[in-house]
Structure 1
Amino acid sequence: MLYELLTLGNSILILFFVLCLVILFQVTRRSADLPPGPKPWIPFIGNLLDIRGGDQRIPFRKWRKKYGDIYSVYFGNKLAVVISGYENIKEAYLKNGDIFSERPDLYVFTGIGRKQGIAATSGHLWKEQRSFVLKALREFGFGKTSIEKKIEEEISPLLQALCEFKGEPLDIESMIKISVANIICNMTFGHRFDYDNEEFLYLFKLIDESLKVLGSNSVLNIYPILRFIPFDPFKIEKVQQNTFIVEDFLSKVIRQHKQNFDQNNVADFTDSYLKEMRKHCDNPDTPYTDEQLLKIILDFMAGGTLTTSTTLLWAILYLMKFPEVQERMHNEIDSVIGKQRLPTITDRSSLVYTEAVIMETLRFANVAGLGFPHGLSRETYFHGYKIPKEAIIIGNLDSVLNDPLIWKNPEQFEPSRFIDDSGALIRPDELIPFSIGE
């Protein structure tokens, strides 16, 4: 009897071992229809160990060199297809935008974003909301000279705050973030905050803290079940608490706008959205809701502040590192504007080198190197490869911004690459620091 039990136990153990080998083979094998790519390390881990720590762009550069412009990797058990090269990204995101404009099934979109706002939405909702947002922002001067007043309102307090340090060390990062955030808040709900406003500083501390937590814990996008581990090691409860506090503040802003709303006097983006909400108030399935507005404003505050302030901080660093660039830029500004007034958008065409420095900063800093993750609306074929609907799509912007076939000596900071022999500014289509067709 004991012998039979031992034999049965060994058989079960062998069967379990064989089953594990079969699973390992199935998970790590790559279908011939899929783009090529590195072999996953082990099941449920995939290629995550290849991108842990350091500059995450490095392994993607190595993979592109080995497997070509289109390859696949595994983040855990999630398949990701990486698209490199300007023409390929353009083909996917612009020419085939109806297929490649979805959001993938990641916790940051489904759990944190709740599939609302702009960043976390997909399909028709995303298209409709994005279209309205762009139209409304243009009406309030985004990209036009009429936005100058809002920027000037923020520049003067920033310069005054900087002058108060009189050459002493200062935390310029927080000041830049607050300045950028104020411009966004001014356009969004018509209000700016003083640099010592404790509530405002606290709110952006919470937003910044949450973004850092989500950025460092991207593993939760692959294994969302980890958020249920006791004692909250990934600080997801903290992110949710922070989000609740910020959303409570924004809810108060929306309520105040509703109380004072005058559809004949639309003063900011929130007013514009409220006006649109009234147009759809008889539709029970309207996408224009308080919660949708709240999430859009939060997207503005978090995403807009982060990308703009990070780029500005890199620009300051590069001007410190390359004093010859700083001197030439300073001389151009003095010769065109002088020292008695602030620059205006009308000066832009005369500040060729300054514009070139900005463009080179966007290229060189490469703050969104792997772009924003996309998903698919359906299974599709791309360049002969079969890509399943559930795949994560990564538009590798780093492959464009650091492509030696596009930019001579891409590893060097050279603003002059954007100026032709006649002294005119060059605006290459390949300068896509924040992607295309998002």
Structure 2
Amino acid sequence: MGDQARMPFTMAVIHEVQRFGDLVPLGVPHLTTRDIELQGFVIPKGTMLITNLSSVLKDETVWEKPLLFHPGHFLDAQGHFVKREAFMPFSAGRRVFLGEPLARMELFLFTCLLQRFRFSVPPGQARPSDSAVFASGDTSHPDHNGGSRKDETLIVDSPMPPHMEDPGWCAWQVYLEWPGEPGVPEELVDSTAAMGLLTGDALWALSVAVAVFLLLVDLMHRRQRWAARYPPGPLPLPGLGNLLQIDFQNMPSSFQKMRFRFGDVFSLQLAWKPVIVLNGLAAVREALVNHSEYTSDRPWMSMYDHLGFGPRSQGVILASYGPAWREQRRFSVSTMRNLGLGKKSLERWVTEEASCLCTAFANKAGCPFSPMSLLKRAVCNVISSLIYARRFKYDDQRLAKMLDLLEDMLKEDSGFVPMVLNVVPVLLRIPGLPGWVFRAQKAFMDMVDELLEEHRMTWDPDQPPRDLTDAFLAEVEKAKGNPESSFNDENLRIVVLDLFTAGMVTTSTTLAWALLLMILHPDVQRRVQQEIDEVIGQVRQPEMGDQARMPFTMAVIHEVQRFGDLVPLGVPHLTTRDIELQGFFIPKGTTLITNLSSVLKDETVWEKPLRFHPGHFLDAQGHFVKREAFMPFSAGRRVCLGEPLARMELFLFFTCLLQRFSFSVPPGQARPSDSAVFGTIVTPTPYQLCADPR
């Protein structure tokens, strides 16, 4: 091996043989372990990477004669050997071929052959081709000029010349000939040509092999179910898992039935994605509070990629648990506080909007109407004031379109199809499919972009921020040049989408539940109004400071949230390490579904779990008591960041409405049902009411 340094041309030839031969053109596949940015593109975690080493070894921008055998590629002008950066037949990086040193030694020792022999084309035979056989069974190979060659036949012979009859020596000759050339039997040509065709038996064998392969892949994805102490669950079907065993129109009901069979902690397989469903206060609290460090991550939701979700634009709600999420949560909380959350300034905004809502209700006096549309507009204006410093009139057509799209968007989020697309994300690569399935999402995002563009045109960086968008834009300016920052234009869109949808939908729907329950329980309504009259009166507007003296009203609002059960399954979590939960083993990378409905309606905790009963939040003396099992905003590190704003809106809107009006079932109409319509958000069955001024 020491001779290498003094044999530059030989070294150049050996390296050129490796480059030209290009033995492993696609290398060995790699897999990303986190989201990365590559050549300006987003590559999600869990993506397989195929490194086309052939494109490097035969790159026209690097090699002088990439498609020809040319040892000069590895020689400089003085004839010295030069190793090129684009020479990577053994791959590169941490997974470079570990046998490279041995291979280099063996290849150099090929000089022993050239030391002893001179090699040539056998006399009378055609010059063999230097084209490659790329795979077993290939019968047509491109030549170096872009054309194709006829099928080639590999003839292996082992003549024993007289001067090599020594038993210790055997020389093999390999002749590569064209079919039809002299010396090649016709039968061999025919049989070789036939090798490119699959007969019926071969096709059947191939089908069986593919089926067995797919079953093995399916079993590989299920292997963790065989681990000791893995939670029990229904038997999954190959490929589909338990997708066909879940009622996606009412998932809480499906999970309740499975809970009766398998217990508070059970497992599911959604296609190839392992899922654990947690039921009951003990299991949910242990996961979200006791193990919060390892259960606060989110599974990647591929169905939102078309909206702009990516490694640097994950928003807040669905962001991976890490620095970017902490940065955005800290920013959102502090900015809302700076804009008045928890202070009189924001309280005045809400109270003024409540007055506008009461005026709109007064215009309906004496007529049956559905309150949902007006409630959405009022709550939308509160969150819009925080995000855009903008208030819409209730008859604004742009606001009406936005609310309609938002309702359609929530419908698109739920059901069988979105779930399948999320657990089998490769389907989202079908051209046009995301835009067809999620049309409302795209249209709503376009409206968000319009509002942001209008806002950006009026932003003055030298003035104090008017709203959250101004504050975010200021942070974007500060973060320029910092690729690790989550403050960028792409993430602004997602943060605004998160805060707007979550802040508007849940609060307005809770108020719709509150008014429905008031007309169904007039005795409760009268008692709330009595407490309002005693503490606030008919003239002064409600204030947050009144809560402490209104225990029954507080109990009613909390019971509305418990009974309404708006987000029964919460937002999915993801384990970032192996944990033990209720005696079961939960592997790293498992999706956790927290069945909050099973906590809010737990028979072991609540006296009347399936009925509206404000007494759940009152002690024997009539004092308000907040219960541990009350978690409509989830719990732990990923608890809803808008909880303080939601509590303020619910109290001020609810008390303002009941201070001004008495609500009842419209005359001649049937008593509405308190049953729910299940979806991404659980809404009350559509109803009408009458609002009579007090």
TM-score (norm 1): 0.89
- Indicate whether 1:142 and 2:341 are aligned: yes
| Selected match of 1:78 from 265, 273, 276 | 273
- Give the direction of change, closer, same or farther, for the CA distance of 1:94–1:256 in structure 2 (3 Å limit): farther
Q: CA deviation at 1:294?
A: 2.6
Q: Distance in 2 between matches of 1:231 and 1:252?
A: 26
Could you say which residue in structure 2 is the equivalent of 1:120? 318
Matches within 5 A, 1:37-436: 37-112=232-307, 114-115=309-310, 116-122=314-320, 123-216=322-415, 217-227=418-428, 232=433, 235-236=436-437, 238-239=439-440, 241-258=442-459, 260-263=460-463, 265-281=464-480, 283-436=482-635
- Give the direction of change, closer, same or farther, for the CA distance of 1:239–1:379 in structure 2 (3 Å limit): farther
The DSSP-based 3-state class of the residue aligned with 1:270 is helix
Q: Distance in 2 between matches of 1:70 and 1:427?
A: 26
Q: Deviations over 1:242-271 (max 9, x none)?
A: 14422322322441353x2335x3332233
Q: Distance in 1 between matches of 2:486 and 2:214?
A: 47
- Give the direction of change, closer, same or farther, for the CA distance of 1:8–1:292 in structure 2 (3 Å limit): closer
Q: Distance in 1 between matches of 2:348 and 2:305?
A: 38
| Most deviating of 209-218 and 350-359 | 209-218
Q: CA deviation at 1:229?
A: 5.4
| Most deviating of 406-415 and 289-298 | 289-298
Structure 1 unaligned segments of length 5 or more: list them. Answer: none
Could you say which residue in structure 1 is the equivalent of 2:27? none
Q: Deviations over 1:14-42 (max 9, x none)?
A: 65665566566666673234633333442
User: Contact (CA 8 Å) 1:227, 1:236: kept in 2 or not?
Assistant: no
Q: Distance in 1 between matches of 2:265 and 2:535?
A: 46
Q: CA deviation at 1:403?
A: 1.0
User: Contact (CA 8 Å) 1:210, 1:242: kept in 2 or not?
Assistant: no
- Give the direction of change, closer, same or farther, for the CA distance of 1:404–1:96 in structure 2 (3 Å limit): same
Q: Distance in 1 between matches of 2:558 and 2:603?
A: 17
User: Contact (CA 8 Å) 1:188, 1:268: kept in 2 or not?
Assistant: yes
Bigger Cα Rg: 2
- Normalized per residue, which structure has more helix? 1
User: Contact (CA 8 Å) 1:37, 1:63: kept in 2 or not?
Assistant: no
Q: CA deviation at 1:305?
A: 0.8
Amino acid at match of 1:98: E
Amino acid at match of 2:462: D
User: Contact (CA 8 Å) 1:182, 1:191: kept in 2 or not?
Assistant: yes
User: Contact (CA 8 Å) 1:213, 1:235: kept in 2 or not?
Assistant: no
Q: Deviations over 1:101-121 (max 9, x none)?
A: 111022245444604211221
Q: CA deviation at 1:241?
A: 3.1
User: Contact (CA 8 Å) 1:110, 1:120: kept in 2 or not?
Assistant: no
Q: What is the identity percentage for the equivalent residue pairs of Structure 1 and Structure 2? A: 33
User: Contact (CA 8 Å) 1:257, 1:271: kept in 2 or not?
Assistant: no
- Give the direction of change, closer, same or farther, for the CA distance of 1:175–1:301 in structure 2 (3 Å limit): same
Amino acid at match of 2:299: P
- Give the direction of change, closer, same or farther, for the CA distance of 1:78–1:112 in structure 2 (3 Å limit): farther
- Give the direction of change, closer, same or farther, for the CA distance of 1:257–1:429 in structure 2 (3 Å limit): farther
User: Contact (CA 8 Å) 2:573, 2:591: kept in 1 or not?
Assistant: yes
| Most deviating of 227-236 and 181-190 | 227-236
RMSD of Structure 2 on Structure 1 (CA)? 2.8
- Give the direction of change, closer, same or farther, for the CA distance of 1:77–1:136 in structure 2 (3 Å limit): same
Q: Distance in 2 between matches of 1:156 and 1:16?
A: 67
User: Contact (CA 8 Å) 1:70, 1:81: kept in 2 or not?
Assistant: yes
Q: Distance in 1 between matches of 2:528 and 2:230?
A: 45
User: Contact (CA 8 Å) 1:418, 1:427: kept in 2 or not?
Assistant: yes
Q: Distance in 1 between matches of 2:240 and 2:507?
A: 34
Structure 2 unaligned segments of length 5 or more: list them. Answer: 1-197, 639-694
User: Contact (CA 8 Å) 1:72, 1:81: kept in 2 or not?
Assistant: yes
Amino acid at match of 1:198: Q
Q: Distance in 2 between matches of 1:285 and 1:9?
A: 52
Amino acid at match of 2:256: R
Q: Deviations over 1:366-422 (max 9, x none)?
A: 111111011133444444544333321111211211111111121111101211112
The DSSP-based 3-state class of the residue aligned with 2:278 is strand
Q: Deviations over 1:32-69 (max 9, x none)?
A: 34633333442232222232254321221222233222
User: Contact (CA 8 Å) 2:531, 2:553: kept in 1 or not?
Assistant: yes
Amino acid at match of 1:36: P
Q: CA deviation at 1:221?
A: 1.2
Q: Indicate the structure whose relative CO is greater, using CA pairs within 8 Å and at least 6 residues apart.
A: 1
User: Contact (CA 8 Å) 1:102, 1:377: kept in 2 or not?
Assistant: yes
User: Contact (CA 8 Å) 2:240, 2:270: kept in 1 or not?
Assistant: yes
Amino acid at match of 2:554: E
Q: CA deviation at 1:13?
A: 5.8
Q: Deviations over 1:63-108 (max 9, x none)?
A: 2233222221112221111122323323322333232111102224
Amino acid at match of 1:64: R
Q: Distance in 1 between matches of 2:269 and 2:296?
A: 21
Stretches of 4+ aligned residues off by more than 4 angstroms:
4-29, 228-234
The DSSP-based 3-state class of the residue aligned with 2:355 is helix
Q: Deviations over 1:287-322 (max 9, x none)?
A: 222332232121111111111111111111111222
User: Contact (CA 8 Å) 1:419, 1:425: kept in 2 or not?
Assistant: yes
Q: Distance in 1 between matches of 2:339 and 2:431?
A: 47
- Give the direction of change, closer, same or farther, for the CA distance of 1:69–1:111 in structure 2 (3 Å limit): farther
The DSSP-based 3-state class of the residue aligned with 1:82 is strand
